[in-house]
Amino acid sequence: MLGRILSSAQAGLLLVIICLGALLTLFTGSHADRVSGEMVNNFLNSYTLIQTLTDASFFAIMAVGATIVIISGGIDLSVGSIYALAGVTTAMVLRTQGLDGSSGAVTGLVISVGVGLLCGVVNGLMVVGLGVHPFIITLGTMWVLRGIAFVATKAESILVPFSLTGVTKASLGLRGGLYPVPMLVMIAVTVLGTLYLTRTVMGRHIFAFGGNIEASRFAGLALGRIQLGVFAVSGLTAGLAAFLGASLYGSASSGDAQGYELYVIASAVVGGASLIGGKGSAIGAMLGALLIVLIRQSIRTLHFDQNYEWIVIGCAIIVAVVIDRWSAGVTTRRLSRSAASSTGITT
């Protein structure tokens, strides 16, 4: 089992995360715990670790959906705007209908996920129906969807019912101030994404579509249905993240998730997804999101200029893409040598 983990595609990324966590543990110092009075590390403690995973959960949940799109050879720039529209729609409907309690929480989840799914389906239909590259379609819907959210709310922040906050801020037996629900949802989405990509026929079709679209066409795969499906999943995960975000922070606005699409795509790419399609994983997306958040936290915790955050994340994306291309080249050369050697033996 250990050998399988060490040889997996995510082993290097996991090692980087562990090393970064070790550096933070060494250099962030310690403080006295307010409850027990004992000295605890500023990073290696339950509150900071769960808070870090909570911060990463919103990126990671959307990154799983975005990774599925990227595996198919597409890209979705509209996830941040879908997040904003799903959040404000949920808050507005619940406020208008005066819903609260368990019914309000369930209705809010259905609305948020439904809006996200609808936006994803619209993206997919336009990509398939118009035959335009996903970059252009989702660039346009990125502005349209956020504009709709802005006009609908008049740029106001809308409070959500306490029942929603109670769901996402449930302590589940942990001490006050620790909210593990977003982290648990992130893990669940990652597991489901992994099973979807590796254990279902649709998942294998997505890899085939992204790896070689012509071969997929000759194999008789429903190409339009595959493209529609990946954008629907991306929208659905953005809607789920919006529900968690609005519930955790207690409000929703048209400015929510501004720039999240960059973090989401960065998480997917750093996690091993290839922008040319055919490669990626849900686990890699989650680890990529965690690494991005750790980089942000490192810069702030170690009191570096926060403007360097964008520089470091940009460099991480470039390095990830370069390593991916280098790895693909090495694999191609190894297969070529193996094929040549095999041919030499048979002749």
Which residues are CB-neighbours of 222 under 8 A, at least 6 positions away?
A: none
Most confident of the ranges 38-42, 85-89, 258-262, 318-322: 85-89
Residue 28 φ then ψ, to 5°: -90, -10
Q: What's the average model confidence in pLDDT over 210-232?
A: 91
Q: Is the pLDDT of residue 347 over 50?
A: no
Q: Is the pLDDT of residue 86 over 90?
A: yes
Q: Is the pLDDT of residue 20 over 90?
A: no
Helix (H) or strand (E) holding 185: helix 181-199
pLDDT of residue 304: 76
3-state DSSP assignment of residue 147: helix
- pTM for the whole structure: 0.88
State how far the alpha carbon of 133 is from the alpha carbons of 67, 116, 136, in Å: 17, 21, 6
Q: Is the pLDDT of residue 9 over 70?
A: no
Q: DSSP assignment of 43-104, as one string?
A: SSSHHHHHHHHHHHHHHHHHHHHHHHHHHTT---S-HHHHHHHHHHHHHHHHHHHT--HHHH
Amino acid at 292: I
pLDDT of residue 15: 83
Q: What's the average model confidence in pLDDT over 253-276?
A: 90
Position with higher pLDDT, 3 vs 91: 91
At 315, the pLDDT band (50, 70, 90 cuts) reads confident
pLDDT of residue 127: 96
Amino acid at 193: G
At 145, the pLDDT band (50, 70, 90 cuts) reads very high
* Residue owning tokens 């989702």: 138
pLDDT of residue 35: 67
Q: How far apart are CA 50 and CA 290, in angstroms?
A: 12
**Model confidence over 46-63: pLDDT tens digits?**
888 888 899 899 999 999
Q: What's the average model confidence in pLDDT over 273-287?
A: 91
Q: Is the pLDDT of residue 6 over 60?
A: no
At 122, the pLDDT band (50, 70, 90 cuts) reads very high
CB 252 within 8 A of CB 95: no
3-state DSSP assignment of residue 246: helix
Q: What phi-psi label fits residue 153: left (phi over 0), alpha (psi between -120 and 50 degrees) or beta?
A: alpha
pLDDT of residue 48: 84
* Residue owning tokens 């406020």: 95
Find the DSSP H helices in 212-307: 213-218, 223-249, 260-270, 282-301
Position with higher pLDDT, 334 vs 196: 196
Q: How far apart are CA 344 and CA 119, in angstroms?
A: 54
Q: How far apart are CA 29 and CA 19, in angstroms?
A: 17
State how far the alpha carbon of 333 is from the alpha carbons of 12, 43, 273, 330, 338, in Å: 22, 43, 21, 5, 9
Position with higher pLDDT, 301 vs 56: 56
Q: What's the average model confidence in pLDDT over 270-280?
A: 88
Give bridge partners of residue 40 from the DSSP assignment.
31
Q: Is the pLDDT of residue 3 over 70?
A: no
Q: How far apart are CA 181 and CA 195, in angstroms?
A: 21
pLDDT of residue 28: 79
pLDDT of residue 1: 40
**Model confidence over 154-195: pLDDT tens digits?**
889 999 988 888 888 888 877 767 788 999 999 999 999 999
Q: Which two tokens stand for residue 199?
A: 């254990």
Q: How far apart are CA 82 and CA 138, in angstroms?
A: 10
**Model confidence over 225-259: pLDDT tens digits?**
999 999 999 999 999 999 999 999 999 999 999 98
Do the bridges between strand 30-32 and strand 39-41 make them parallel or antiparallel, or are there none, so unpaired? antiparallel
Q: What is the DSSP letter of 32?
A: E
What's the mean pLDDT when you consider all of the chain?
86
At 29, the pLDDT band (50, 70, 90 cuts) reads confident
Share of the chain above pLDDT 90, in %: 50
Q: Which two tokens stand for residue 287?
A: 């680890």
